[in-house]
A and B are shown apart, each in its own frame.
Chain A
Amino acid sequence: MANRYSFWSLLKHGLKHHETWQPAWRTPQLKPRYDVIIIGGGGHGLATAYYLAKNHGVKNVAVLEKGYLGGGNTARNTTIVRSNYLWDESAHLYEHALKLWEGLSQELNFNVMFSQRGVMNLGHTLQDMRDIERRVNANVLNGIDGVILSPKEIQDIVPLMDVSASTRFPVMGASYQPRGGVARHDAVAWGFARGASELGVDLIEQCEVTGMIIEDGRIKGVHTTQGDVFADRVGCVAAGSTSTLAKMAGVRLPLESHPLQAFVSESMKPCLDTVVMSNAVHGYVSQSDKGELVIGAGIDSYLGYGQRGSPHVIEHTAAAIIELFPSFSRVRLNRQWGGIVDVAPDACPIIGKSPVKGLYFNCGWGTGGFKATPGSGHVFAHTIANDAPHPLNAAFALDRFSTGHLIDEHGAAGVAH
């Protein structure tokens, strides 16, 4: 690797006043033909390209990105990573991702700052607690770590939280996954981009796909703003814009795109060293390494492609967070943003083949795609390379919407929306 990062390289470049570092990835010209085209240069798309080159020897790959790498939802999430899902199919998929996260910095030689500081899902009603018990038991049976915490134990971990009985929605307990945590979202995209580029993948930015070239029900290539590109296999990993691509290919998908908002506060001294989520009052919060509180809100109920959301959603979430952490009431917010999430009817992703031969979709991650980034790329690369799903994503095929075999994770998974 031209630019292998290590203590010695830091020292070597440091002695030269850091003026000798090379760019982390190449900026090549678009070629007319590739073996595989990946549409979408976010975390999932870059991970797919990386694993295609690394694990399957498919190195003649282009990643087409309409904006800049990692500039969509990869840059707009709240960076939470966990795998405490209820149903076997999703638990295995997210646990696969979590295991990849655990070795990702070493794998990529890039510090993705994965910090396993634990993820707590609060329960505020008797029904919440029953659901938590069921989910934690299911997790343990699937080999995923999880414990149930009492309000006293929560207080020990998060002293700032108000767990008294006098709050409007008293905290009755929580599920806790110690291996969960947060990662540096940009670093994940950059790490995969660097790794993929090193293996020969062409990363093409400012290149929007404007049409699909399909002959006899088989994909031949795509029209882009930089000209036509041909490939026998095309993978779409475009999150909120997936339906727009599917329409070009004449494929109907069960997706709805919604704005999902998040916001960060000013930087503060460390005060919260775990991730706290609550479905009932609807908010989630963690503290970044810079000291900002990273707070996630809900999705807007309506279909929307504007990367912004309604103020009342922020108000609702801020109220929930202040109810839990009264001392945060005087913290000022710094920035707010929205990303477009593609939500499937069962809140589970769609990873697999489409009715068009050679055209694959990896979409429908909804509000929780970031945590799956390495796992998603890993199984999707397998699907494209073998024209058949990996055992872990076989259940997530598009045909589940006609067979009726949905994986109903809405509300069952500690999904916060």
Chain B
Amino acid sequence: MFQLHCPHCGATREEEEFSYAGEAYIARPANPEEASDAEWGDYLFMRKNTRGWFWEQWQHTAGCRKVFVVKRHTASYQIAGSWTLAEGKAHYLKESEA
């Protein structure tokens, strides 16, 4: 059991109050008309499933109902922080470049 912080309403609550919404920042094919079956398959189904630090989406279902991102370690369940989707993306992109 862990506690999550919702950056939208500022509440820190137990995980039961939230719903998991999967891997964050999966890029949609830029030209949907031209994407091949394999590219669509990759976008729809293939996942990083990282063991380690992982960017994921959560929804504050029993609260403000908004979606945000959390950086969480998938083996130790430590949480590095939570951000709105836009704020988190800046951190995420910086990490991906490094």
Binding site for B on A (CB under 8 A): 241, 243-244, 252-257, 301-306, 310-312, 342, 345, 401-404
Contact = CB atoms under 8 A, between A and B. Distances in A.
Contacts of A401: 41, 44-46
Interface stretch (B5-13, B72-80, B81-89, B90-98): B72-80
Contact of B51 (A243, A301, A312): A243
B16 A303 contact: no
Q: Give chain B's interface residue range (CB within 8 Å of chain A).
A: 20 to 34
Contacts of B23: 303
A158 to B, nearest CB: 31
Contacts of B1: 310-312
Contacts of B49: 243, 253, 255-257, 303, 342
B51 A244 contact: yes
Contacts of B37: 402-404
Contacts of A311: 1
Contacts, number: 70
A403 B41 CA distance: 8
B2 to A, nearest CB: 8
B3 to A, nearest CB: 12
A255 B22 CA distance: 12
Contact of A254 (B14, B45, B76): B45
B47 A256 contact: yes
B25 interface: no
Interface string B45-58: 11111110010100
Q: Which of B14, B19, B45 has the most CB of A within 10 A?
A: B45
Contacts of A404: 37, 41
Interface string B29-53: 0000000011011101111111100
B20 A301 contact: yes
Nearest to A402: B41
A45 B38 CA distance: 29
Given A310-B1, A402-B37, A402-B40, A304 B45 contact: no
B77 A252 contact: no
Nearest to A242: B49
A305 B51 contact: yes
A310 B15 CA distance: 9
B39 to A, nearest CB: 9
A404 B46 CA distance: 13
B47 A254 contact: yes
B54 A303 contact: yes
7 contacts: A253-B47, A302-B72, A303-B74, A304-B75, A345-B45, A401-B45, A402-B37
A403 B16 CA distance: 36
Contacts of B20: 301-303
A201 to B, nearest CB: 28
B24 to A, nearest CB: 11
Contacts of B77: 304, 306
